[in-house]
Structure 1
Amino acid sequence: MTIARQLATIDRLCSEDFPAEHGRSAAGTAGPGYHLAELATSEDFRETDGAARAETEEQFEAERDGLAQLLARRWGPPEPVSLAALPERSARGEDIPEPWAALSAHVPDVHLWRPAGAHDRWVALGVSQWGSDLPYQLLALVTEIDPP
């Protein structure tokens, strides 16, 4: 997906209604109060070395940062937010709301905005990887649920 299409996807999700049930959507997944768009996905790493993984991670972080720069021109600088502590907080019994709980399982940090004119929604960009053999993904979250 080109950067123009990534921006168009984010813009569309900022104004689109949220579904009543969790499930797949045209952009990725969605549920009550959120849309999670898969903007780019790498190949898996089953037969590659650590250097290829590191290079791909750097590429996806650079793509996230480039997209963040474009969004910052519209909405101002993002707030960097670490999600790394959320799984531990959940394990101690704290109720972490969705989509933040699921996102924190595979996205360590996000760039976060609360853009004016986006219907009181949050927009977050992050780089995901579920495991060392699995692909990286550039994700955009649009949600009305406040971050924990």
Structure 2
Amino acid sequence: MTTAQHLDTIDLLRSRAFPAEPGPSDVGSQGPGFHVAELNGQFGDDGADGYEDGDGDAAADQRAQEHGALLNVLERRWGEPDIFSLASTRLRVERDEEVPDPWRRLSEQMEWLHLWRIEDRWIAVGLTRFQLLAVVTETEPP
């Protein structure tokens, strides 16, 4: 996907109502108070990214480039993001403390993300080992 397509997806999610129940969506997953978009496509539950041996490095480089390009455009649009570490959130999850989604799931997938507060929603962009994710949520970060 292109940066323009990623922006279109984020804008779509910003305008979309949140569902009452968690489940899949046309771009990833959703639940009460959040949407998560898998901007570079869905991968299998086993973590395989569909690339053989050395091709995985090329795919990771491509995701990193897409991530950087998207961040540049979003920074021009909304200003400097907060860099939000998910380390303390992950510790809370490990201690079986209550952490709402999408933050619980994000803490299991990545170390940190870029975060903006736009109107009444939080917009986050992060990079996992296999995916470029965008999150739109009304749930405050923990």
Q: TM-score, normalised by structure 2?
A: 0.86
User: What is the aligned residue count?
Assistant: 138
2:30 maps to a residue whose letter is A
C-alpha displacement of 1:46: 7.1
Structure 2 unaligned blocks of 5 or more:
none
Match in the other structure for 1:71? 74
1:39–1:45: structure 2 CA closer, same or farther, 3 Å change rule? closer
Contact 2:28 2:42 survives alignment (8 Å): no
Q: Deviations over 1:95-147 (max 9, x none)?
A: 1111100111112211110124xxx0000001123xxxxxx111100000011
1:53–1:109: structure 2 CA closer, same or farther, 3 Å change rule? farther
Alpha carbon RMSD of aligned pairs, Å? 2.0
Structure 1 unaligned blocks of 5 or more:
130-135
Match in the other structure for 1:138? 132
SS of aligned partner of 2:40: strand
Contact 1:82 1:110 survives alignment (8 Å): yes
Match in the other structure for 2:65? 62
User: Once superposed, which parts of structure 1, at least 4 consecutive aligned residues long, lie more than 6 Å away?
Assistant: none
Q: Matched residues in 1 for 2:11 and 2:49: separation?
A: 32
Match in the other structure for 2:122? 122
Q: Deviations over 1:4-57 (max 9, x none)?
A: 1110110111111000000011111000000001110387357744x5444433
Q: Matched residues in 2 for 1:42 and 1:52: separation?
A: 17
Q: TM-score, normalised by structure 1?
A: 0.82
Q: Matched residues, percent identical?
A: 45
